[in-house]
Amino acid sequence: MAADLIFFALFLAGLTLMGMALGPWMARVFTGRARLLAPVERALYRAAGVTGRGQRWTGYAAAVLAFNAAGFVLLYLILRLQGVLPFNSQGFGAMESSQAFNTAVSFMTNTNWQSYGGETTLSHFTQMAGLTVQNFVSAATGIAVAVAVVRGLAARSVADLGNFWVDLTRATLYLLLPGAVLITLVLVWQGMPQTLAAGVTATTLEGAQQVIAQGPVASQAAIKMLGTNGGGFFNANAAHPYENATALTNLVQIYAILVIPAAFPFFFGRMVGDRRQGWAIFAAMSVMFVAVLLAAYFAEAAGNPLHAGITEPGVSMEGKETRFGLAQTVLFVVATTVASCGAVNAMHDSLMALGGMIPLFNMLLGEIIYGGVGAGFYGMVLYVVLTVFIAGLMVGRTPEWLGKKIEAREMKLAALTLLVMPVGVLILSAASILTGNAQTAVQDAGPHGLTELIYAYTSGTANNGSAFAGFSANTVWHNTMIGLAMLIGRWGYIIPVLAIAGGLAGKTRAEATAGTFPTHGVAFTVLLVVTILIVGALTFLPVLALGPVAEHVSIAAGQAF
Amino acid sequence: MISQLRPALVMTGAFTVLLGLGYPLAMTGVAQVAMPGQADGSLVERNGTVVGSALIGQSFTRPEYLHSRPTATDPAYNAGASTGSNLGPSSAALLAQVRDRAAGQGPAPVPSGMATASGSGLDPHITLDAALRQVDRIAAARGVPGAAVQGAILGAATGPAFGFVGEPIVNVLGANLALDAAGG
């Protein structure tokens, strides 16, 4: 156990250093000082008719929506037409329409919820030209929005937030693509396939035929992690040995998930000219990360009391892979759900009751512990706005953040985003139960069945994409409703947060006085964490009590279902 | 929004070519030239026949072979359709399966890995501890000394990750190839 805890500490130190190193590079990229690929940029802008002029928040949001629409239509068409498109050596046909809708929404919104099994459904063309592209650009979209929000906070009385097309292009060319190339090479070196062959047939030592599916796995896995997408090449995702070959690929992929989200607070600190502001947010994220990591670790280390006497004491290996062991499994489980990644290296459905509650909890908070690329940071911005407002009420001062007054408009918009998770999770889950669609889809009886349902709608709304995969999500109802949840969860944050940033950009920046409540330092970090827990988590305590907590208590009493 | 249509379409098209075709095909080219063994799936050949992949587990049922973990794929170790059982911790079905599998593994309690299905259903490893428990059966079936079997197993073992995290593990296919090569 001591070794595992030392490993976690080293991991966190490494993540902090990477974030500190990448933050300044992002500041260079998004202020236009990285110019290595300027000719490529210019050619692209000319072809697209992009002037690069700054957009007000409405223009920025319209560009995001237009780009999402184009991406959705293209991906939907590829999924429906893959039967007649190239690189389809296994001869897969068209995907059914509700599933194609769900999948196209899923990859456009950076969710990568999968109601299909990759190796049995999709051609190599679909994986590359359809999914890999959205893995890049949905991530770049999230980054762009967060960058625009940071600009709004840093600006002094200007009306624009930057240009979406320029931010999108720079996020892709200067962050995601070079990172993905580097990670791909490490992954292939460690054994992950990168081939256009469909697969090979082996004759096993006992004489059986084993058909081994393959494909361009490493290139897709690299961006699926770096872009916090999470959509697997194979059904078993990063539990599949070809999609996560060794302990080292596991560690590299976990860092790939968290590096850009961890760099955002440092990028923000630089952009607003006060690095303490970034550190306060990074500290709040890290404190919560350590808490959920340890909670999940000890829940899993305890093992399954129902199997006592049959198997040796300690971690239950159901759904887990031997090469990762306890520490690397738990670290992945936590990393993939604090961010909006959703790749899995173990079957979350088979985690212990409380071990499975932690990923659910991470998502219900809105994925702001580091969070998804961009999405985590703008989610955190909303919590900071709330915290500043609450702090202002408590001490009787005008709420200010970075010298900008937080007023009724900002509060209304921030409060609106607080409704996104409850609507997507509770209302859509309740509708599924009332219409009978939940009961037919869950696999397990007892409280675990409720957790499977809640997890599915939480994963969709939080744009995570991981699953309690015993849940049969491939029905017209769930494909449609989870598709809807993903849209609410994406645009329900992006549009209000851009509106807030647009409003704040136009405000003058007052100098701090003795009456200003500081938004850095330990007091603020503590207040931020407390606000997140109270505002984000309280809503969901009843449903968590009925699902994972009830299951935990049942197991402790020796009850199986 | 209409004015954004042209950039939306052009950018989508350009990124599809660059990221959907250029990037994966270039990476495939580089990987195939620089690291062909890994890029083609770490296949293992014996006497010119592909007998499997070093990364993909396979089913072993005969007593003279080291046995892999249980699997949830259908049929066992189906490397064309990976899956876990996804049964929850309070599942009675899981409890029954664990009991059944453990019953065939000698005195209880057995290592958890040998009574549970992996996440992928294709786990190529078992823990060193779980492997050493099979030494006597394999040695008896092959009519060779236990030390020889143990040697083959240790030869296919790797230590804890990064030297200090977790337990030593054994690649099952690797151990079985070594056992066959040693004869008996």
pLDDT in tens, A298-322: 999 999 999 999 999 999 999 999 9
Is B89 close to A214, i.e. CB distance below 8 A? no
> What does the pLDDT average to over A342-366?
96
Report d(CA A432, CA B74) in Å as an integer.
Answer: 30
The per-residue pLDDT for A357 is: 97
In this structure, the strands spanning A209-213 and B169-171 are unpaired
User: Measured between alpha carbons, how far is residue A235 from residues A54, A240, A330, A345, A467 in Å?
Assistant: 42, 8, 20, 11, 12
Across the interface, which of A212, A251, A324 has its CB nearest the CB of B79? A212
Is 80 exceeded by the pLDDT of residue A514?
no
Residue showing tokens 């990064």: B162
Q: Using DSSP, state whether B135 is helix, strand or coil.
A: helix
Lookup: tokens for A177: 């693509």
- Model confidence at B1, pLDDT cuts 50, 70, 90, reads low
Residues of A in contact with B57 (CB under 8 A): 241
Q: Which of residues 368-427 of A touch B (CB under 8 A)?
A: none
Are both B136 and B95 inside the same structural domain? Answer: yes
Do A253 and A220 form a contact (C-beta atoms < 8 A)? no
Q: Considering chain A, what is the average pLDDT of its residues?
A: 95
Q: Determine what percent of chain B is predicted with pLDDT higher than 90.
A: 93
User: Measured between alpha carbons, how far is residue A164 from residues A66, A145, A169, A519, B105 in Å?
Assistant: 11, 8, 8, 28, 61
In this structure, what DSSP letter does residue B53 have? E
Is 70 exceeded by the pLDDT of residue A270?
yes
Backbone angles phi, psi at B50, to 5 degrees: -75, 120
The per-residue pLDDT for A119 is: 78
Is 70 exceeded by the pLDDT of residue A111?
yes
Is 80 exceeded by the pLDDT of residue B184?
no
The per-residue pLDDT for A513 is: 79
Amino acid at A367: E
Q: Using DSSP, state whether A212 is helix, strand or coil.
A: strand
Residue showing tokens 């003795």: A514
Q: Considering chain B, what is the average pLDDT of its residues?
A: 95
The per-residue pLDDT for A33 is: 93
Backbone angles phi, psi at B158, to 5 degrees: -125, 150
Distance from CA of B122 to the nearest CA of A (A): 7
What contacts A549, CB < 8 A, 6 or more positions away?
A353, A354, A357
Give A180-212 pLDDT, tens digit per residue: 999 999 999 999 999 998 889 999 999 999 999
Beta strands, E only, chain B = 43-46, 49-53, 125-127, 157-158, 169-171
What contacts A423, CB < 8 A, 6 or more positions away?
A461, A488, A492
Residues forming beta bridges with residue B127, ordered by sequence position: B169
Lookup: tokens for A161: 């937030």
> What does the pLDDT average to over A400-425?
94
Are both B65 and B92 inside the same structural domain? Answer: yes
Is B84 close to A350, i.e. CB distance below 8 A? yes
The per-residue pLDDT for A421 is: 95
Lookup: tokens for B157: 């073992």
Report d(CA A349, CA A444) in Å as an integer.
Answer: 10
The per-residue pLDDT for A159 is: 83
The per-residue pLDDT for B181 is: 94
Lookup: tokens for A191: 């054994």
> Does the N-terminal peptide bond of residue B160 adopt cis geometry, omega within 30 degrees of 0?
no
Domain span including residue B31: 1-40
Q: Where are the domains of chain A?
A: 1-199+212-273
Are both B126 and B156 inside the same structural domain? Answer: yes
Chain A interface, best mutation among B9, B77, B116, B120, by max A CB count within 10 A: B120
How many structural domains compose chain B?
2
Are both B103 and B148 inside the same structural domain? Answer: yes
Give A328-343 pLDDT, tens digit per residue: 999 999 999 999 999 9
Instruction: Locate the chain A residue with the closest alpha carbon to B96.
Output: A307
Residues forming beta bridges with residue B46, ordered by sequence position: B49
Are both B75 and B125 inside the same structural domain? Answer: yes
Report d(CA A104, CA A112) in Å as an integer.
Answer: 9
> What does the pLDDT average to over B2-11?
91
Chain A interface, best mutation among B90, B122, B162, by max A CB count within 10 A: B90
Give A73-93 pLDDT, tens digit per residue: 999 999 999 999 988 888 899
> What does the pLDDT average to over A105-118?
91
Interior angle at CA A288, CA A287 and CA A289, nearest 5: 90
Q: Using DSSP, state whether B126 is helix, strand or coil.
A: strand
Are both B76 and B138 inside the same structural domain? Answer: yes
Residues of A in contact with B7 (CB under 8 A): 48-50, 63, 66-67, 165
Instruction: Locate the chain B residue with the closest alpha carbon to A310.
Output: B109
What contacts A28, CB < 8 A, 6 or more positions away?
A34
- Model confidence at A510, pLDDT cuts 50, 70, 90, reads confident
The per-residue pLDDT for B71 is: 97
Radius of gyration of chain B (CA): 22
CA atoms within 13 A on the CB side of A215: 26
Lookup: tokens for A169: 């292009």
Report d(CA A241, CA A222) in Å as an integer.
Answer: 15
Are both B138 and B73 inside the same structural domain? Answer: yes
CA A280 and chain centroid, separation: 22
Instruction: Locate the chain A residue with the closest alpha carbon to B180.
Output: A205
Residues forming beta bridges with residue B53, ordered by sequence position: B43
Give A526-554 pLDDT, tens digit per residue: 999 999 999 988 899 999 999 999 999 99
Are both B85 and B126 inside the same structural domain? Answer: yes
Is A311 close to B65, i.e. CB distance below 8 A? no
Is 90 exceeded by the pLDDT of residue B14?
yes
**In sequence order, which ranges of A307-407 are alpha helices (DSSP H)?**
325-338, 353-364, 375-395
Q: Using DSSP, state whether A188 is helix, strand or coil.
A: helix
Q: Please check whether residue B48 lies inside any domain of the structure.
A: no
Are both B2 and B59 inside the same structural domain? Answer: no
Lookup: tokens for A460: 């969709």
Are both B91 and B16 inside the same structural domain? Answer: no
Q: Please check whether residue B49 lies inside any domain of the structure.
A: no
Q: Which of residues 111-130 of A touch B (CB under 8 A)?
A: 117, 119-120, 128-130
Is 70 exceeded by the pLDDT of residue A41?
yes
Tell me, letter by letter, the H, E, C secondary structure of B73-109.
Answer: CCCCCCCCCCCCCCCCCCCHHHHHHHHHHHHCCCCCC
Instruction: Locate the chain A residue with the closest alpha carbon to B2.
Output: A66
Contacts by A522-529 with C-beta closer than 8 Å and gap 24+?
Answer: A524/A280, A524/A387, A524/A391, A525/A280, A525/A283, A525/A284, A525/A287, A527/A387, A527/A390, A527/A391, A528/A280, A528/A281, A528/A284, A528/A383, A528/A384, A528/A387, A529/A284, A529/A287, A529/A288
Is the pTM higher than 0.90? The answer reads yes
- Model confidence at A158, pLDDT cuts 50, 70, 90, reads confident
Do A333 and A351 form a contact (C-beta atoms < 8 A)? yes
Residues of B in contact with A67 (CB under 8 A): 4, 7-8, 11-12
> What does the pLDDT average to over A156-165?
90
Is B50 close to A202, i.e. CB distance below 8 A? yes
Give B133-159 pLDDT, tens digit per residue: 999 999 999 999 999 999 999 999 999
